């Protein structure tokens, strides 16, 4: 029986209970009933029922109609599959991130779509004292970051429409694109040239160059980028930085099984 609930003011009790219920179900091949789960964890039947019902609503667990027992649902397998895919992506991409960082001597990043934003899942930091650093797991807008634009540009127009209908095109700097018409022009340019540039659109003084990464099905799954202080990026050979980023994105894509047409 598990009853080692963590008591911490920074945690949410119902979430802890939900996790412990999932752990119990994961260890039971035949599933568990409401009363059995409640007794094992020393939780009230009513509270246990509400947690189970919430998890079932999102397909995280499912209930056998005959036995009324609960077991792990397809929703959790889907989440697990996505997590595994992201882990594999990071594992494959990290050596290329490191190589790219050495090539241009600026911070390199790996980003994926996360809802209506882009999330940073891997990074290789520049050795310079003044450098770009983003906490792993941090999120940023899709429409004004190099990685976000690179991913969105290669998504179907219907997907772009959905995203643009859900977000507000907030102005961060004088260079931020704030109209859908201008964004669509930007997406067409990105697809034509194979890379995206965030020219101080999210933050003044920062430039980012990004290129999309594709999986074995030809779907855009991530983007790789180089970011750094604008004065330093402008002092360097921008065309060399662009070609390095694009080449690295192609190398990662090839390692994911993508065959460029």
Q: How many domains does the chain have?
A: 2
Same domain, 115 and 29: no
User: What integer pLDDT is reported at residue 55 of this predicted model?
Assistant: 93
Mean pLDDT of the chain: 89
d(CA 73, CA 60): 5
pLDDT band at 2 (very low <50, low <70, confident <90, very high): very low
- Helix (H) / strand (E) containing 196: strand 196-199
- Whether residue 7 lies inside any domain: the answer is no
- Whether residue 2 lies inside any domain: the answer is no
Q: DSSP letters of 147-163?
A: HHHHHHHTS-HHHHHHH
Same domain, 181 and 234: yes
pLDDT band at 126 (very low <50, low <70, confident <90, very high): confident
- Helix (H) / strand (E) containing 40: helix 34-41
What is the residue whose two structure tokens read 């991409």? 93
What is the average pLDDT across 61-70? 92
Question: Could you report the per-residue pLDDT of 10-50, keeping only the tens digit for each?
Answer: 667 889 999 999 999 988 888 999 999 999 999 999 999 99
- What pairing do the DSSP bridges indicate for beta strands 117-124 and 70-72? unpaired
- Whether residue 38 lies inside any domain: the answer is yes
Same domain, 122 and 233: yes
Determine the structural domain holding residue 54 and report its residue range. Answer: 13-72
Question: Could you report the per-residue pLDDT of 134-163, keeping only the tens digit for each?
Answer: 788 889 999 999 999 999 999 999 999 999
pTM of the predicted model over 0.75: no
């Amino acid at each position: 029986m598990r009853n080692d609930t963590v008591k911490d003011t920074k945690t949410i009790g119902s979430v802890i209970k939900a996790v412990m219920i999932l752990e119990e179900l994961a260890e039971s091949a035949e599933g568990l009933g409401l009363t059995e789960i409640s007794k094992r964890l020393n939780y009230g039947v009513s509270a246990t029922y509400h947690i189970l019902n919430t998890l079932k609503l999102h397909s995280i667990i499912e209930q056998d109609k005959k036995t009324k027992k609960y077991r792990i649902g397809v929703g959790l397998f889907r989440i697990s599959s996505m997590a595994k895919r992201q882990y594999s992506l990071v594992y494959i991409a990290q050596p290329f991130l490191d190589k790219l960082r050495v090539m241009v001597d600026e911070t390199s990043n790996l980003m994926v779509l996360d809802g209506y934003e882009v999330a940073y899942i891997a990074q290789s930091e520049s050795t310079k004292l003044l450098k770009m650093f983003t906490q792993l797991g941090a999120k940023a807008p899709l429409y004004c970051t190099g990685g976000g634009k690179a991913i969105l540009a290669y998504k179907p127009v219907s997907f772009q429409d959905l995203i643009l209908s859900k977000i507000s095109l907030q102005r961060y700097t004088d260079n931020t694109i704030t109209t859908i018409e201008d964004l669509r022009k930007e997406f067409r340019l990105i697809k034509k040239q194979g890379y995206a540039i965030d020219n101080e659109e999210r933050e003044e003084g920062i430039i980012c160059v990004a290129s999309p990464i594709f999986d074995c099905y030809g779907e855009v799954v991530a983007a790789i980028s180089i970011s750094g202080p604008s004065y330093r990026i402008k002092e360097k050979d921008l065309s060399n930085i662009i070609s390095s980023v694009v080449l690295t994105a192609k190398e990662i894509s090839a390692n994911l099984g993508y065959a460029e047409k």
